Structure formats: C-alpha cells, structure tokens
Chain A
C-alpha cells in the first residue's frame, strides 16, 4: 500500500510545475520515435509469427469435418484482436520499452542527471516522465493495429502456403460474424496498458537508489510489475467492457 501511495504521489507530481507546451511537444516527438518507430520491426516479426502459429494450432485442434475450415481464420481474427495484439504485445512492450525506460531513468538518477535538472529549477519527473507516458499512449495503440494486421497476414501466409485452407476460405473467415466493437475494445485496452507500462516503469526507474546493480533490479521490477498490472487490468476491462 505504501508503494501504491508513492506511485499515486509520483503521478500527481507529473502535472505540477510543467514546462512550456513546445518543450513537451519536442520531447513527445522524440519519445514517439524511440517508443514507436524503433519498435515496429520487433512488433511486425513477433505478431506475424504469432498469427502463423495460431493458424497452425487452431487447424491442429479442429479435427472434426463438421466445422468448416474458414472457422480457423475466424478464430485467428478473434484471438488476435481481443487478446494477442493488445495483451501479449503489451508484455513484449513492457520487456522492450518498460525496461528501457526504467534503466534509462535509473542511470540518470545514479549519475545525478536528475539532480542536475532539479537544481536548474525543472520538475524532473514531469520533464522526463510525462512525455514518455504520452508518447506510449499515442504509439502503443498504433503498434497494436500494426501487430493485428501482421498477425492476420501471418496466418494467411502460413494457412494458404501450407494448404491448411484456401485464400477464399481465409478471407471468408476473417469477414464472417465480425463485431467491430472488438476493435474499439482492443484500442481501449491498448491505451490503458500503455499508461500502466510507461508509468510503472518510469516510477521504478525514477526512484532507483544505489549503483549499476540497483538499475538492473529496477528494470526487472519494472517489467514484472508492469506485466502483473497489465494482466489485472486485462481481466477488469474484459469484465467491465465486454
């Protein structure tokens, strides 16, 4: 509870004594490059294979001839949109971006760079953390969309090239009984997950004390805590919004 209280105070500190809009604008653009653009290749790779594997495994489990083949791609679509793209990618996001945020801020703390900002009269938490959270909330939903598309393409490529189902069957499954609310739900989840991962990781990094060993510990804690928070939020959001 004490840690949760510190986290809430930390979140409160992000919105006081702010710098100018243009300062934040530049920082957010920089962070978007770091968080978004530099993560695309990893997201494309992971999500394409995820879609491919989901197709193969769904086909493996559909042993009865009574279920039409296009159901495979329908399952791939639902799994991708509802869970794989927003939630599993959030775990990848926490591992790549969350640990990097915690490590970067932790290093800045132990090398007195954060103290240097404070001495200059800058609210270091707002200056360093707020742009990371905003950029994460902007970029992660876009990465989820990219991941969703790549996952479905991955499923298509493997499904059709290995003869599991025909291109027509795959497209038919993708289009049948489609509820577009699932996309809205996935995007809401992605914004919440991005906020949790960025804020928790920054919180862990910002309050690092000690040396290189503690920076490593902070990075590990950032990933662990973010993933737990994402899974809890996933459950509550599913209960709340579905």
Chain B
C-alpha cells in the first residue's frame, strides 16, 4: 500500500499540485486521472522520487520514502517497477538485454537463471522470439509490453505506469490495460496508473483519484464515477456524445 500525505509541488511560481492526500491499495489498479496539465505525471514523479515535493510525503507500506536517506531510498526503489510513456527502453540494448538489465544491476543471479526469468516475463506479456530484436525494430505496442516485462522482472511490490496506452490503437490499449490488471492481481502488487483514457478508467479503474488543476476533487471506483456529483469530473467523463447518451446508466 502506498499513502501520500499533503503533497504540493510548484515550478517557479506556478503551483502544480496542492495538498494531495490519498491511499493506493495493494492488489488493485489505482488510477490517477484528469485532463492534460492537471499534475498527474508530476504527482507520479513525486511519489517515485523523480521529483521532490515542496511539502508532503509518500509512504511505501509505512516507510517514509520522501525523507528517507539514500540507502533506504535505494532499497525501496529496488522494489519498484515502472512503465514509462514511451517505454524508455535502452536504445543500445536488445529486448532481452533491456528486460535483463534490472537483474544485471540489482541481483547476483547466474546468467541462466536470469535468462529463464526474462523469458518467463516476456512470455507473460505475450512476447516470444523477439529476444534479439533491438528496441528500434519493434512496434509501439511491443515496446510497452517489453517495458512491462522489464518493470516486473525483479518481482516488484509497486508498479507505476505513466500513460501506458498513449499512442496505441484502441485494441492494443485494451490489451495493455488487461495485462496490467492481470499482473496486478496475479502478483498482488500496488499498481498506480496515470491516464486520461476513458476506456482505461472504465475498464480497469478499481480505485480512481481525479485531479483537476492541481487539486484532488474526487476519489472512488469505476462503478461510481458516472454519478460522482462533481461537475469537473462529469465534464471529464461525459466529454463526448456517446458518453453523454449513456449518462445515468450503469457503465461498469
């Protein structure tokens, strides 16, 4: 479980996040949603430590990560897997080397054991016989899958996904969403996903936090998102004609 307390962040004089509190449950897909520029990615970066919040803390199973010393931070980071928006695969390495990289750096496993683990993870995300392909030789959807395989190869306790289906076609997006959901349940990990994709919100939003202009306005699940009573959230959810026509009906 990850808990955040009073997180605020400004860049120069521009306040991007204001006093964000919340809990992200273990074994569930926790979504941070909102329009572009509302501070979702900044919040995620504050939680994983890529940015230091101006105020507030992130707790990983009661361990204060934000104010932890470098050793404790390093230890917690070794329990984290992260899928980046563009995959963030290392250009100089092939698929196998990319997925094996966290094991090379963080463990002393023998090579054969590492290879077995890599093959297991690649198979788990539906990729086989692509081990020797370079990152530049695979499609966007495959990059995301390799990114997921790399994120889970070290058996993380926490999985972070920054817009996992951006730039993907709807069908591949749903496959990636379902894969993240399955992995979250299968390995009982705390997953936090930043997205503004309504298919993801309705499909895998077991717990949802809605941000609007740097403030947290609502928290709930995909089952009650359509009757939140929050105007800004309604504007976000019922943005198109199809969704508006379904207003008032139970979507999930």
Contact = CB atoms under 8 A, between A and B. Distances in A.
Interface of A: 16-17, 19, 23, 107-108, 111-113, 115-116, 118-122
A117 to B, nearest CB: 9
Interface of B: 48-50, 70, 73-75, 77-78, 80, 82, 84-86, 88-91, 101-102, 104-106, 160
B39 to A, nearest CB: 17
Given A111-B88, A112-B84, A112-B88, A118 B70 contact: no
Contact of A17 (B74, B101, B106): B74
A49 B105 CA distance: 45
Contacts of B102: 120
Contact of B48 (A17, A108, A111, A119): A119
Interface majority SS on B: helix, strand, loop or mixed?
mixed
A107 B48 contact: no
Given A19-B105, A120-B106, A113 B74 contact: no
A78 to B, nearest CB: 42
Nearest to A116: B88
B74 A121 contact: yes
B94 to A, nearest CB: 15
Contact of A116 (B70, B78, B84): B84
A145 to B, nearest CB: 29
B84 A23 contact: no
Given A17-B70, A23-B105, A115-B88, A121 B78 contact: yes
Contact of A113 (B48, B70, B90): B90
Contacts of B90: 108, 113, 116
